[in-house]
């Protein structure tokens, strides 16, 4: 039987895809420079920028160059940076004691950035992995086979107060210890920093995609392996309902922003979190996600710009209000 043309269709969705202007008019999700937070790595000394081999285009920066990069990011429209220190291994020990040194690297970096670029929001990591010789996010128990939760939380509260005193806008506990958000909130308030916010890594999964980041901050070398298992405190990637339990606990304990990490493989979690809280939701497009896009592009298998854009669009479409990404500067410049 012969087909009859044209088809008798009332609804033709392609009508609104016909021209670029029509497509723009009905676009549901839009990326803008203000959506992005740039993670930055800082080192001591005066060495020139040191590119991280597993993260093309990402550098470890001395404090002077860090300030220059923050100026450039602010000019590009990126509203915030998240700072991560790479310490000299000689400063690391089992207890991560240098984290409580008032002159530790990240605190000097915060002071320099806030003095030079006071308009930019500065976020600092609250976890011990950059400071411990074993590479874990807290202090180990006597058997050295697990992180001791409550003693670690006590240290994290002190870290947060030091960071607030240095001038950070948001402290970001990434350790996944039980009860740390409430303890940090109480410590900040007691020290007179009720205006310092908490961006909690609320649903942080024990991902295989963290390797390049651990190279960047030196926690992989400290542990002797970039495959260090953190399964007793970071979440099982198989668990979806548990993520909501973690998020609601952080929400109740006083977190101002709730984060999902990683982002790209956990879009369902981002959507779930968006639906259970009215608080802002952040998502971290992690080092492995960034590295795999670059690697495939270098092999000619993927288009770098299109895949970069699509990956970030998907994260925002899933429900993230803000995205930590190593593409922040390039995206902001592309969108201006």
Residue of 204, 279, 316, 329 marked active site: 204
* Per-residue exposure over 322-332, b if at least 16 CB sit within 10 Å of its own CB, e if not: bbbbbbbbbbb
Residue 329 bears catalytic tag: no
Which residues, in sequence order, are CB contacts of 304 under 8 Å at separation 6+? Answer: 293, 294, 297
Whole-number Å distance between alpha carbons of 192 and 203: 28
Helix (H, G, I), strand (E, B) or coil at 327: coil
- Report which DSSP code applies to 143: T
Q: ω before 176 within 30° of 0 (cis)?
A: no
Pull the structure tokens for residue 225. 């392996």
Residue of 261, 279, 316, 329 marked active site: 261
Whole-number Å distance between alpha carbons of 267 and 144: 34
Which residues, in sequence order, are CB contacts of 13 under 8 Å at separation 6+? Answer: none
Give the CB-side neighbour count of residue 79, counting CA atoms within 13 A.
10
Whole-number Å distance between alpha carbons of 175 and 164: 18
Closest CA to 67 of 35, 25, 16, 115: 115
Please spell the DSSP secondary structure of 252-299, one letter per residue. Answer: HHT-SEEEEES-GGGHHHHHHHHHH-SS-EEEE--HHHHHHHHHHHHT
Q: 324 has which bridge partners?
A: 37, 284
Residue 261 bears catalytic tag: yes
Q: Helix axis angle, 63-76 relative to 105-116, nearest 10°? A: 40
Whole-number Å distance between alpha carbons of 60 and 50: 5
Known catalytic residues are 204, 261
């Amino acid at each position: 039987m012969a087909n009859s043309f044209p088809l008798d269709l009332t609804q033709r969705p392609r009508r609104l895809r016909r021209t670029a202007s029509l497509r723009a008019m009905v676009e549901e999700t839009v990326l803008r420079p203000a959506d992005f937070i740039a993670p930055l790595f800082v080192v001591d000394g005066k060495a020139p920028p040191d590119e991280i081999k597993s993260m093309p285009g990402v550098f470890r920066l001395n404090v002077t160059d860090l300030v220059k990069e923050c100026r450039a990011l602010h000019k590009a429209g990126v509203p915030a940076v998240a700072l991560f220190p790479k310490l000299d291994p000689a400063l690391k020990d089992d207890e991560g004691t240098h984290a409580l040194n008032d002159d530790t690297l990240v605190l000097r970096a915060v002071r320099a950035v806030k003095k030079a670029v006071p308009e930019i929001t500065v976020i600092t990591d609250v976890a011990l992995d950059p400071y411990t010789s074993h590479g874990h996010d807290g202090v180990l128990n006597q058997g050295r086979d697990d992180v001791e939760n409550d003693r670690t939380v006590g240290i994290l509260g002190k870290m947060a107060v030091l960071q607030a005193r240095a001038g950070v806008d948001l402290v970001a506990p990434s350790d996944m210890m039980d009860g740390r958000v409430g303890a940090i909130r109480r410590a900040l308030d007691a020290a007179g920093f009720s205006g310092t916010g908490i961006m909690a890594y609320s649903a942080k999964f024990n991902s295989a995609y963290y390797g390049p980041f651990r190279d960047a901050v030196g926690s992989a070398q400290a542990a002797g392996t970039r495959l260090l298992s953190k399964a007793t405190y970071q979440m099982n990637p198989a668990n979806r309902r548990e993520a909501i339990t973690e998020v609601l606990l952080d929400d109740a304990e006083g977190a101002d922003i709730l984060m999902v990490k990683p982002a790209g493989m956990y879009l369902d979690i981002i959507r779930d979190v968006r639906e259970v809280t009215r608080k802002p939701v952040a998502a971290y497009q992690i080092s492995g996600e960034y590295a795999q896009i670059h690697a495939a592009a270098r092999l000619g298998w993927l288009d770098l710009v299109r895949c970069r854009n699509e990956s970030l669009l998907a994260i925002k479409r899933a429900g993230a209000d803000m995205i930590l990404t190593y593409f922040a500067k390039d995206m902001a410049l592309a969108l201006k």
